[in-house]
Amino acid sequence: MSQKIALVTGGTGGLGTSICRELADAGFRVVAGYNSGGNHDKAKAWQEEQKKDGYDIQVAYGDVTNAESCAQCIATVEELTGGTVDILVNNAGITRDGQFKKMSWEQWDEVLTANLDSMFHMTRLVINGMVDKGWGRVINISSVNAQKGQFGQCNYSAAKAGIHGFTKALAQEVARKGVTVNTVSPGYIKTAMVAKIAQEIQDQICAGIPVGRFGTPEEIGRMCSFLCDEQASGYITGADMSVNGGLHMS
Ligand code: CAA
């Protein structure tokens, strides 16, 4: 059986790196999608770092806010691997936090475009191939703040909640075709995105997490690889997998 191909958007970032590595450990051929503001050297340097740690992960440029760029990204993946995408992890995302009363249209639009429109652009390009093959995995990275809301994140909470609606609808459309579609909702994970929050606020948030700590990127990566596991995952679809240390229990 040929090696299945996984594409992780935002693959060179905090969560993305762990997701790529866990999927590689699980035996998949992994390509990290990256934007990095068009900084190709940064992506190449990331790739070299992975190589030093024994990971052979390829990189493909793609701006997930732009349909044409996404199509180019998929074409690059196909060129690099000689196959089509079996596993898509829609992980790329941004924050532009601020209270709603002060939020600009730009803050709203940038977050909705990067976090939600990206689901359409990337998934639309690979879903028919998965259906034709009779196997596929789509994993959409949302957030605990979609489930519970968060002060200062009207834009992000809205986009991330939209992701789960998308997951549930698409899961129904492809359920009989061997394709599962799930959401993973991380809590506060030790990444650069969380490090940007003022220390005092981080401390307040951490104090409210029953497990008593922020999560690790590896804990999210492992959940993604579980959702791709042949033995375990065929019957999990349309689900929202919470990995949040108990911060929100639904
Ligand atoms: N609930 C109610 N009121 C709150 C509050 C809360 N949780 N947090 C702050 N406030 C109040 C303060 O008490 C203060 O009130 P007063 O003006 O009456 O004193 C006021 O809000 C603070 O207002 P500021 O104008 O000073 O705040 P700001 O607009 O500069 O900053 C903020 C707001 C940037 C959103 C800041 O609160 C913040 O960083 N919050 C954390 C946001 C967050 O959790 N982001 C997650 C990023 S990581 C991520 O998104 C990954 C993931 O999926 C989990």
**CB-CB contact of 223 with 193 (8 Å):** no
Residue-level pLDDT at 1 = 62
Cβ-in-10-Å burial (0-12, 13-18, 19+) of 78 comes to middle
Domain contains 238 = yes
Answer yes or no: is 195 within a domain.
no
Q: Which residues contact 46 (CB under 8 A, 6 or more apart)?
A: 12, 17, 32, 34, 59
Distance (Å) from CA 99 to ligand 1 centroid: 7
DSSP annotation of 210: T
Quote the DSSP letter at residue 3: P
Gap from CA of 54 to ligand 1 centroid (Å):
40
Q: Is residue 209 in a domain?
A: no
Total count of domains within the chain: 1
The pLDDT of residue 9: 98
Q: Is residue 10 part of a domain?
A: yes
**Lining residues, ligand 1, CB within 6 Å:** 95, 97-99, 102, 143-145, 150-153, 156, 186, 188, 193-194, 197-198, 201
Closest residue by CA, ligand 1 atom 10: 151
- What mean pLDDT is predicted for residues 178-205? 97
- Active-site entry in 34, 61, 156, 235: 156
- pLDDT at residue 190 is higher than 90: yes
- For 106-119, the pLDDT digits (tens) are 999 999 999 999 99
Closest C-alpha residue for ligand 1 atom 48: 194
Q: Provide the domain limits for residue 83.
A: 5-187+217-243
Verdict on whether the full-model pTM lies above 0.75: yes
Answer whether residue 250 is part of any domain.
no
The answer as to whether 74 is a domain residue is yes
Inside any domain, residue 154: yes
Ligand 1 pocket check: which of 110, 197, 219, 244 to mutate, most ligand atoms within 8 Å of Cβ? 197
What is the residue whose two structure tokens read 């809590």? Answer: 187
Q: Give me the CATH number covering residue 64.
A: 3.40.50.720
3-state SS class at 99: coil
Averaged pLDDT of the chain: 97
Residue 208 covered by a domain: no
The verdict on whether 156 is a catalytic residue reads yes
Percentage of the chain modeled with pLDDT above 70: 100
Which residue's CA is minimally distant from atom 37 of ligand 1?
152
Per-residue pLDDT tens digits for 141-184: 999 999 999 999 999 999 999 999 999 999 999 999 999 999 99
Confidence of residue 250 (pLDDT cuts 50, 70, 90): confident
